[in-house]
Amino acid sequence: MTTESPTSTEWIEYDYAIVRVVPLVHVCSFTNIGVVLHARQAGVLAAHIEYDAARLAERCPGIDADLLERYVEAYRRVARGGADAAPIGVLPPSERFHWLTAPRSAVLQTSEVHPGRARDLDAELRRLFLEQCG
């Protein structure tokens, strides 16, 4: 989760989206499980995703927990970047952010992208997670 961005006296502009589990895509119900944040000027792309599998199973009956965990782990790898995230993982952070937030019809989706600004991106990511998912 660490964005490795120092606390700054300057405001840092960022974009973020809420990561959601959408167990029945045709019903459009969802449960928020995380936040992905991108600050282009700071070169930061970070995702904070957490969920309680048992609680999620109660809210989303019939969800395949093992498959969801594989999706979430792949999402985290792309956000972190690197060769272990396949070809997408070596793209620049801004391209990976757009890939992570692209509209899709799948069990793991994101909200629309929202703007923000903060001086401490780590603290802001935690705040957004608690506000949206906590």
Helix (H, G, I), strand (E, B) or coil at 84: helix
Between CA 101 and CA 17 the distance in angstroms is 7
DSSP for 62-108, please give it. Answer: T--HHHHHHHHHHHHHHHH-SGGGHHHHTS-HHHHHHHHHS---SSE
Contact 19, 49 (CB under 8 A): yes
- Predicted confidence (pLDDT) at residue 5 exceeds the cutoff of 70: no
Helix (H, G, I), strand (E, B) or coil at 112: coil
What pLDDT, on the 0 to 100 scale, is given for residue 96?
A: 97
Q: What is the model's pTM?
A: 0.89
- Predicted confidence (pLDDT) at residue 8 exceeds the cutoff of 60: yes
- Predicted confidence (pLDDT) at residue 2 exceeds the cutoff of 50: no
pLDDT in tens, 72-123: 999 999 999 999 999 999 999 999 999 999 998 888 999 999 999 999 999 9
DSSP state of 83: G
Average pLDDT over all residues of the chain? 90
Residue 52's Cβ-side half-sphere holds a number of Cα atoms within 13 Å equal to 6
